[in-house]
A and B are shown apart, each in its own frame.
Chain A
Amino acid sequence: MKKKSLKSAGMLLAVVTSLTMVLSGCGSKNNNNNGAASPSASAPASESASPSASPSDSGTGTTIDAKGMKIGMATDTGGVNDKSFNQQAWEALQKVANDTGAEAKYLESKKDSDYQPNLNSFVKNGYTLTWGIGFLFADAMKTIAEQNPDAKLALIDSSVDAPNVESVLFKENEGSYLVGIVAGLTTKTNKIGFVGGMELPVIKKFEVGFKAGVAAVNPNATVTSNYVGDFSKPDLGKLAAATLYDGGADIIFHAAGGSGNGVFTEAKDRLKSGNKVWVIGVDKDQSLEFGNEITLTSMMKKVDEAVTKVTLDTLSGNFKGGTVELGLKEGGVGLPVENPNVPKDVLDKVEEYKQKIISGEITVPTE
């Protein structure tokens, strides 16, 4: 009797534990990201929406009336509060919805197998445009596009060859080249570090561009790379950064998503003990989140602008399909407007190289 109840209590405990594991599986990633996220991310979204809109769209501006139209967005497994591209994209979409009167909705994917049904939910409900955020969507997007030739789809960070999909790629290598120049001219030890999330082609583009930028202005500097193997492990990022700083590096450029937060933590710890080191942020102006004491500059990838632009185009009836690659020329990547830690002469140098890349004088390698 006693034994039995004990056993069932144990079972219950096991159930509860495993349920907690199940239910928090995706949640855990989001929880630590909640809160502080919105102010930092929404700021660049609002201030940079206008410049990019000017060259490409034909004067529609924000006067589109899209009442009754619906925009859908499926996140990848990072969830909508990932402090990264999912969040940037969603904030941009919300803004578009506010401005135009269209309706915007998102669906979070918990597992890889959710991508298709999530996209389908939008498509089958007659959404004007459906976004898939992140390269993980490539295969699902292709399938859905083929099955629903009338649906309009858009994809970030990967290219799908279908007439009804607009694929948005970024020339991360070009932006990374520019922050490479900043790093090459700022380093005192001539040792620079790079921390990557996983060894993916897209992250390789960051690394290669960065290295080329450093080499262009400071041939004596060496860049050491360290991949942590995960995008959501700040502890591993911290460890990788510690290794690089211990090896003499005074600047680290990270392209490691959530793991990159650990790089900032390590830099902050070193600053506290009187050791001045720098981090170069990624995707958005990370100085807004981690402070100017350690953030040298950031390689911004303007997902929000791309989402805004493609969405506005679609709402005004100008959905194009095909692949666009946004580089320096298109304003898809680049440094933040404010760079208090970068001296004027360095910024001038950056501007000089930027023009060379735009004019085609320099071609930045991708791999």
Chain B
Amino acid sequence: MSENQSVRKWSRIFVASSIWVPIIAIILGLICGAIVMWIGGFNAWDAYSALFKKVFGSKYDIGETIRTITPLLFTGLSVGFAFRAGLFNIGADGQFIMGMTGATILGIKIDFLPWILHAPIAVLGGMIVGGLWGALAGYLKSSRGVNEVISCIMLNWIALYLSNYLIRTLVLKQGSQRSEEIQSSASMSIDWLSKAMDNARMDWGIVFGLICTSLFYIILWRTKQGYELRAVGFNPEAARFSGINVSKNMLKSMMISGMIAGLGGVFEVLGVFHYQVISAASSGYGFDGIAVALLGGNHPVGILLSSILFGVLTYGSAGMNFTAGVPTEIVRIVIGCVIFFVASQGLIQMLYKPFTARRDAKRKEAA
């Protein structure tokens, strides 16, 4: 009985239409992309098999695909979490950068702790810095009524330059454009796994990403705090009338959102690069996260799946270019096609409806 119930609960996430719609969307997108390639004079079959070969072809590629997915998962969850509380966290980019910076500085400056202490401190530290950066936008929103979109855009730039400044003044590797390497005691890489995966850069990030995915669900749907956040997200007025402190919840949601984005940055430093580069532009992971979250319907499982889709397309596209010789411009159009179709679910549902209607009718006849 209880097993039956839990199955039903899960199947609610994958109800017939919601599982078919994205699959049809992906297929349509691939067909559309194939047409584009065909017009451009390229063999679409070769290109797609190159894409899948690039992603699943070797242990190295599987590992690197996971590495590509990880930051997308974090920023997607971050944006999705804020969305659930009715806020558009366009600032995941800045929070990601601040998470990186926090982890970098803690990872370098602390040099007397064993791994068991140092790594968690660096992870938590980066996460908190990211969280505070998000909370800043949340505070401006809740106490001063500043639209979070505007403050987040500003904070993204401030984060970028502040981070560059901090790296340059505190932990610069002389004569280069990046920080020193973090202490090995702060590393979140999994060396044995990397070795097993042909030197692909494997780290604990994906594990934490999956933990965050489940926490996302647990917090929002299983706790009183999450209940408040969702109430505020759906109807802040009703929440207020029910005695929920709306501004406090906005602050909290931005902080949690920032912490998740910050974690993404943390693992980028502690797991992948082991240093942070001074750069003129952000990596754009925060903006990718918006697309991931929306594509995933702001549901943790959806976000996980859409981050996988994005990651596979991003990493695999190099294969289309490399193996099948499709120029990057066309590769981008093809990816755009797939994402466009997945994003325009309404369109698919419209196409899909006649089928379900007929099926329902048949079912009725049968009954």
Please list the residues of chain A having a beta carbon within 8 angstroms of any beta carbon in chain B.
8, 11-12, 14-16, 18-19, 21-23, 25, 27, 80, 105, 107-108, 110-114, 116-118, 120-121, 124, 135-136, 138-139, 147, 198, 200-201, 229-232
Contacts and interface: CB of A to CB of B under 8 A. Distances in A.
- A interface secondary structure, majority: helix
Contacts of B287: 18, 21-22, 25
B343 interface: yes
A5 B67 CA distance: 36
Contact of B335 (A23, A111, A121, A136): A23
Contacts of B58: 124
Contact of A23 (B177, B281, B336): B336
Interface in B319-347: 321-322, 328-329, 332, 335-336, 339-340, 343-344, 346
Interface stretch (B28-36, B213-221, B225-233, B290-298): B290-298
Given A108-B321, A124-B58, A135-B176, 6 more contacts: A8-B346, A21-B284, A23-B332, A112-B279, A121-B322, A230-B280
Contacts of B64: 116-117, 120
Given A22-B284, A121-B322, A15 B295 contact: yes
A201 B315 contact: no
B162 to A, nearest CB: 13
Closest 3 CB pairs of A and B: A18-B290, A15-B343, A230-B280
Nearest to B67: A113
B350 to A, nearest CB: 12
A139 B175 CA distance: 14
B343 A19 contact: yes
Contacts of A229: 280
B220 to A, nearest CB: 18
Q: Max chain A CB contacts within 10 Å: which of B175, B268, B294, B314?
A: B294
A45 to B, nearest CB: 21
Contact of A231 (B60, B176, B280, B332): B280
Given A8-B346, A114-B318, A15 B291 contact: yes
A105 B327 CA distance: 11
A22 B291 contact: yes
Interface stretch (B114-122, B137-145, B269-277): B269-277
A92 B133 CA distance: 46
A18 to B, nearest CB: 4
B199 interface: yes
Q: Max chain A CB contacts within 10 Å: which of B275, B280, B287?
A: B280
Nearest to A120: B60
A139 B315 contact: no
B280 A232 contact: yes
Contacts of B199: 120, 147
A325 to B, nearest CB: 15
